[in-house]
Structure 1
Amino acid sequence: MSAKKILVVEDHRDTRELLKYNLAAAGFDVAAAEDGQSGLKLASGFRPDIILLDLMMPGMDGLEVCRQLKGDGALARIPVIMLTAKGEEIDKIVGLELGADDYVVKPFSPRELVLRIKAVLRRSGAPEPDAPKAWERQGLKIDFEAHQISIDGDEVPLTATEFKLLTVLISGTGKVQTRDNLLDTVWDTHFEGYSRTVDTHVRRLRQKLGPYADWIETVRGVGYRFKAPNA
């Protein structure tokens, strides 16, 4: 089995080299870029399985890189983990709204980073055990094995995390999913009480579901429930 490919986009040389060393030691095939423009170009040729993207870079920052990645049909499905500093709370929210799948706060341990990378890769891989191979109601069709969703005949791109979130909600149709449970199940970790991450992804998911957005119901003070009409 070939090694998973990781693209590191980080302007700080020492951090970039440290990431390359630790990720290679963990068994990944690593490529690195020192700025946003180089990162976008390398992403097109290297076609990584996941991208580690520094948020604060001169010139084109991580938010703009993420925006362009998610706007490119050939690259939009690649999971993105943003590397952020502790004081960049608002930027984390914006990054998640742009389609980033996770964020890791600097300074971080190599072990923590590898665990987070593996968690995101799992979300973008095999479907949930409890999920059917396909699901359809009215004009909403989901192919869980192919990680594809179409609305009224048009394919809609979802990030790995958005697809995992939708899968978990559909698998528990009719049941209330608390924010804490979704954090543990979808993100394979608990974001230290950072429940707004769930709200941000649900909001993005509703936008992409279009006319079927209200099938994801808000249970005030608790979490969310998926409730679609019977076939």
Structure 2
Amino acid sequence: MPSRILAVEHDPDVLVVLRLLFDGAGHDLRCARDGRSGLRALHEYRPDLLLLHLGLPGVGGMDAWKVLRRVRELADLPVLLLSPDHGVADTVRGLRAGADDVLTTPFAPIELLARVEALLRRTGRDHAGVGEVYDDGDVRVDPRTRLVTVGGRELELTGTEFRLLTVLVRNAGAALTLTDLLASVWDDPTGIATDRVKFAVLRLRRKLGWAGNDAPLSAVRGVGYRYRPAGVRRYGPLTSV
């Protein structure tokens, strides 16, 4: 079954490139020219992945940043941002806002396809729902139902946040490097895009209410991150999900 990709892009020349690229790779592409029509398509089409251009005109006051924020409220799907060459600022802002990847335009089509398919592979593995329930008395993670409970409070996490928490709790007590987390959570063994780990951890800590140096999830200086439950400690090999 072909993967469904929604591209919210206003440049007709780019849309032609996307059509040729994804049709040739066997994916099903749907296009929207502005943010409002993109959100409508999100409801109707239910894509597996969203391509969103940050240079969208703000039709009806709905610019790309508002679209991204709304998408993150409505759906749990990988989002790849296409960013005009405005430097690091857009990349940092995009990752903090919940994007899974950012690609600067103009881009090489083969690189875009590789990044999209890496995100789709990760999503496919995420839907497999394999693995045992983790429960240390404070945090409970059920990979089959994707339910997460912290301190008796049920939380809704994005796909990336769920994978990140799962890897951390399954390796409780161990200091996981940024490269470890990139490979396990993002299916990216290169170790290059470490900022995405930092921003994802920041969002996860905020959502879980884990602030301060004594929080269960903490940074390990010069290494990465460690989850330390208050009670039971579990140790084991690094587990990809």
TM-score normalised by the shorter chain: which range applies?
A: 0.7 to 0.9
Distance 1:187 1:150 in 2: 23
Residues 9-46 of structure 1: CA deviation (Å, up to 9, x unaligned) = 01111101211221121111110001111101110100
Deviates more, 1:134-143 or 1:14-23: 134-143
List alignment gaps of at least 5 residues for structure 2: 233-241
SS at match of 1:71: helix
Go from structure 1 to structure 2 and tell me whether the alpha carbon gap of 1:123 and 1:163 turns closer, same or farther (over 3 Å shift): farther
Structure 1 letter corresponding to 2:116: I
Larger Rg: 2
Go from structure 1 to structure 2 and tell me whether the alpha carbon gap of 1:230 and 1:128 turns closer, same or farther (over 3 Å shift): farther
Matches within 5 A, 1:124-139: 124-127=123-126, 132-139=131-138
SS at match of 2:10: coil
Residue of structure 2 equivalent to 1:65:
67
SS at match of 1:125: helix
Distance 2:202 2:139 in 1: 18
Deviates more, 1:214-223 or 1:103-112: 103-112
Structure 1 letter corresponding to 2:69: R
Distance 1:190 1:104 in 2: 18
SS at match of 2:172: coil
| CA deviation after TM superposition for structure 1 residue 103, in Å | 1.4
* 8 Å Cα contact 1:148/1:155 also seen in 2: yes
Distance 1:191 1:55 in 2: 26
| CA deviation after TM superposition for structure 1 residue 127, in Å | 4.7
Residues 129-177 of structure 1: CA deviation (Å, up to 9, x unaligned) = 9x73311233432121333323355542322222222222223222111
Distance 1:119 1:138 in 2: 34
RMSD over aligned Cα atoms: 2.4
Go from structure 1 to structure 2 and tell me whether the alpha carbon gap of 1:152 and 1:181 turns closer, same or farther (over 3 Å shift): closer
Distance 1:15 1:171 in 2: 42
Go from structure 1 to structure 2 and tell me whether the alpha carbon gap of 1:87 and 1:211 turns closer, same or farther (over 3 Å shift): closer
SS at match of 1:82: strand
| 1:145 and 2:110 correspond | no
The alignment covers a number of residue pairs equal to 226
TM (norm. structure 2) is: 0.83
Residue of structure 2 equivalent to 1:169:
168
| CA deviation after TM superposition for structure 1 residue 83, in Å | 0.9
Q: Percent identity?
A: 37
| 1:80 and 2:82 correspond | no
List alignment gaps of at least 5 residues for structure 1: none
| CA deviation after TM superposition for structure 1 residue 192, in Å | 7.3
Residues 113-136 of structure 1: CA deviation (Å, up to 9, x unaligned) = 22212222233233599x733112
